[in-house]
Structure 1
Amino acid sequence: MNRLFKYLEHHGCNTMRVALKETKGMGMGVYATQAIPAGQVVLKIPLELWYPMSAGCAWTRLNDEEPKLCEDLIEFAKVNSRTNKTRSLLVGSASLIVHLLRELANKEAIATPHLDMIPKTLHVPLFWSDDKLARLQASPIVNKVERRRKLVYELYSQVIGPNAGSAITPPNFAWGWSLILSRAISNMKDQMPFAVVPMLDFFNHASEGEKQSGFCTHWFDHEEKAFMVQTLQAVEADDQLFISYGDLGNSELLRLYGFCLDKNPWNRVRVVPEGVENLTIECNLNGSMSLDRLNNEIDTPTLNSDQIARHLEYALSKYGTTVEADVIELTQIREQKALFKPVQPEATPSTCEFQDIIDHEQALLARIGEKRSIAACLNAV
């Protein structure tokens, strides 16, 4: 950790106000080392730190050193992406993954002090067994994970493997994919660079609606070419600092980051009506919903309230258990969890069992959030 902070300071990032600490149930977290007033910039991460870990840097290097890989990647994106935005994201993601995996293997790489701090095991549904995925029941996450696995496999077998050679294996590439999903930051609307940003990637998530103590805002300053983190309220020394990963329900938090919140006002689920093409029903926890066309060029039948209710009832029945039963199961799982000591990094049988309990807990929170969202909309209609 000292090596990381020396690296940050050497490249112009003042870290006097922050420290990294292990956080129960949340991995590493960022903490204030002193009292900080509201509205203060606690971190400024300059170009020298984030650019070596960016898609822009990755693409420039790959294009110079391996133009054939880049050409094949562009062709793959054209076939597998519908819009210019998703093509750009796919190309940027794949090039960044290859770049980061090579930097991880190169102990002389400039970003090694940061890369060495990144967890090498990621507990996200992409890596879950079929038995673990089954705990999600009828959740749309299952289908998304299966589609992601297929995309990652095809991208590796058609582009990365033939060009990159044996240095990057299928498991490595899949791990790299989850790494950028969970740690990279980007915002095309604000023209924020796509990068794994040192220190910013250690901030844990809090929903903006929670008014969590220690909540910070973050942005990219285009004039300074730096990522900035600023307190929104006064914090005391040893308070944990948080940022928002977005207005995400538990299902998306689990799929992307491997965790859920006990109370998440952004819980939602997208229901695909049985036998109705080109239409989905997005159900929100607050009872609001929207009927969305998948393709605006295709005529789609409208649904009245009775039809919507029948589709929602059917969607709820596909889960197989009730919310009440899930809550009881969640209580039992947490009782088991309380019997364990904190997880150690070593993969001993006890820690594997502990991780299975954590994954079970998160699956329950995700499916409870989805069921409650459907039930809220069902009550509304």
Structure 2
Amino acid sequence: MFQLLQWFHSQGIITEHIRIQQITQTSYGVLASQSIPPNQTIITIPLHLCIFSDDLLNNHYSRYKKYYPHIFNIQLNEDAEFNTLVLYILLQKDNQSSLHKPYFDYVKQPQNVLSWNQQQVDLILDLNLKKTIQKMRIGLELNFSRFVTFFKEQFKKELSYDLFLYAYQFVMTRCFGGDHHLQSSCLVPFGDMLNHHDKCQTKQKIIGTNLVFITTKPIKENEEIYNFFGEHGNSFLLCWYGFTYDDNIYDKIYLSYEDDQIKEVSCYEFTKSNFKLKYYKNCQLQQDLLNLNKQQCKFNLLPNSNQKISQIY
């Protein structure tokens, strides 16, 4: 960690009133080293360190977008930006002269449910969540086969599954989505040190040539400082990022209906269903939920509802 922080600061990243601390045996977080008022800049990251997918597509990989549109053209593949970031990691991870090699070297094992074995998947009680994980694995295999062909034709070399899985999960667990602050999906070294929570106390903004993280509310000394990945329940967070947390206000229960009768209860939204679909936040007591029996209410992610899967930085 010390060497990574040295690299961050040598590249012009400025931090104020924060420190990096190990939160669990497998994860780190950003904590306030003193009380911080709102509207305080706590992290400044030069934009040249951020890896923007649109910059790669337009200025570096445009020929790939032309000749491999099924992988890199956003009009034909909605994951084109994602795939572009995956390609950057595949090409730069072992490049000794790459600006980002220290960043890639330190993040050794980005993991989510794609790393689980079948026994671990079988522990999940929600059948719809299991189906989602299976679809994710099928999608991963399809994407890998496309990249294997692409690498053979463009670089005359083999692509290993382990390296591809590393790059794929790296982007899944660390990518910032494009919004009104960021022009496209991107990787943000140091910015991805902030863990997710719905009680986020920061926002991001581009000021000049820097991406800055600014506090939105008072933060106490030694309090963990969070980012916000979106309005996601634990089932989505588990699949995409590889972690869950208690009291997630965006957790939902999905009830499938047929002829006004509840047929199924799920913690994960059905991708395809012939039933009418409704959802309720867990904290709400709806009459429908009161009428469910215990057998129908097996919507927990895992047998132990307090079990967490922590992301490894």
TM-score normalised per structure 1: 0.65
- Check whether the contact 1:153–1:170 (CA below 8 A) recurs between aligned residues: no
Q: CA deviation at 1:140?
A: 2.5
Q: CA deviation at 1:254?
A: 1.0
Aligned identity (percent) is: 16
CA change 1:116–1:138 in 2 (3 A) is same
Structure 1 distance, partners of 2:132, 2:218, is 40
Choose the corresponding residue for 1:100, options 89, 97, 100.
89
Within-5 A mapping of 1:95-244? 95-118=84-107, 120-157=108-145, 159-165=146-152, 166-188=157-179, 191-208=182-199, 215-221=200-206, 223-244=207-228
Secondary structure in structure 2 of the residue aligned to 1:155:
helix
RMSD: 3.5
Structure 1 distance, partners of 2:99, 2:159, is 20
Q: CA deviation at 1:143?
A: 1.6
Q: CA deviation at 1:362?
A: 3.7
Secondary structure in structure 2 of the residue aligned to 1:98:
helix
Choose the corresponding residue for 1:330, options 304, 310, 313.
304
Give the match for residue 371 of structure 1: none
User: Per-residue CA shift, 1:183-222, capped at 9, x if unaligned?
Assistant: 11013455543111011101112213xxxxxx4212232x
Q: CA deviation at 1:170?
A: 2.3
Structure 1 distance, partners of 2:163, 2:21, is 27
TM-score normalised per structure 2: 0.78
Between the two proteins, the alignment pairs up a number of residues equal to: 291
- Check whether the contact 1:32–1:238 (CA below 8 A) recurs between aligned residues: yes
Give the match for residue 281 of structure 1: 278
The code of the aligned residue for 2:147 comes to I
- Check whether the contact 1:44–1:227 (CA below 8 A) recurs between aligned residues: yes
Give the match for residue 11 of structure 2: 11
CA change 1:112–1:37 in 2 (3 A) is same
Structure 1 distance, partners of 2:150, 2:241, is 29
Question: Is structure 2 residue 80 aligned with structure 1 residue 91?
Answer: yes
- Check whether the contact 1:249–1:264 (CA below 8 A) recurs between aligned residues: yes
Secondary structure in structure 2 of the residue aligned to 1:105:
coil
Structure 1 distance, partners of 2:299, 2:82, is 38
Structure 1 distance, partners of 2:59, 2:151, is 14
Give the match for residue 54 of structure 1: 52
Give the match for residue 268 of structure 2: none
User: Per-residue CA shift, 1:96-133, capped at 9, x if unaligned?
Assistant: 10111221111321012222222x22342122112211
User: Per-residue CA shift, 1:269-289, capped at 9, x if unaligned?
Assistant: 445556962753334324499
CA change 1:26–1:247 in 2 (3 A) is farther
Secondary structure in structure 2 of the residue aligned to 1:228:
strand
CA change 1:123–1:6 in 2 (3 A) is closer
Secondary structure in structure 1 of the residue aligned to 2:43:
strand
The code of the aligned residue for 1:285 comes to N
- Check whether the contact 1:249–1:266 (CA below 8 A) recurs between aligned residues: yes
Specify which structure has the bigger relative contact order, considering alpha-carbon pairs within 8 angstroms and separated by 6 or more residues: 2
The structure with the greater share of residues assigned to helix is: 1
- Check whether the contact 1:43–1:230 (CA below 8 A) recurs between aligned residues: yes
Q: CA deviation at 1:41?
A: 0.7
Secondary structure in structure 2 of the residue aligned to 1:330:
coil
Structure 1 distance, partners of 2:296, 2:67, is 41
- Check whether the contact 1:62–1:95 (CA below 8 A) recurs between aligned residues: no
- Check whether the contact 2:7–2:102 (CA below 8 A) recurs between aligned residues: yes
Q: Which has the larger radius of gyration?
A: 1
Structure 2 distance, partners of 1:77, 1:16, is 38
Give the match for residue 269 of structure 2: none
CA change 1:72–1:137 in 2 (3 A) is farther
Q: CA deviation at 1:265?
A: 1.8
Q: Which runs of 5+ in 1 are unaligned?
A: 209-214, 290-304, 335-360, 364-381
Q: CA deviation at 1:145?
A: 1.6
User: Per-residue CA shift, 1:38-92, capped at 9, x if unaligned?
Assistant: 3201012121211xx221343246525xx3x4345423578xx9xx5xx564111
The code of the aligned residue for 2:97 comes to E
Q: Which runs of 4+ in 1 moved over 6 A?
A: none
Structure 2 distance, partners of 1:29, 1:246, is 18
Structure 1 distance, partners of 2:133, 2:30, is 30
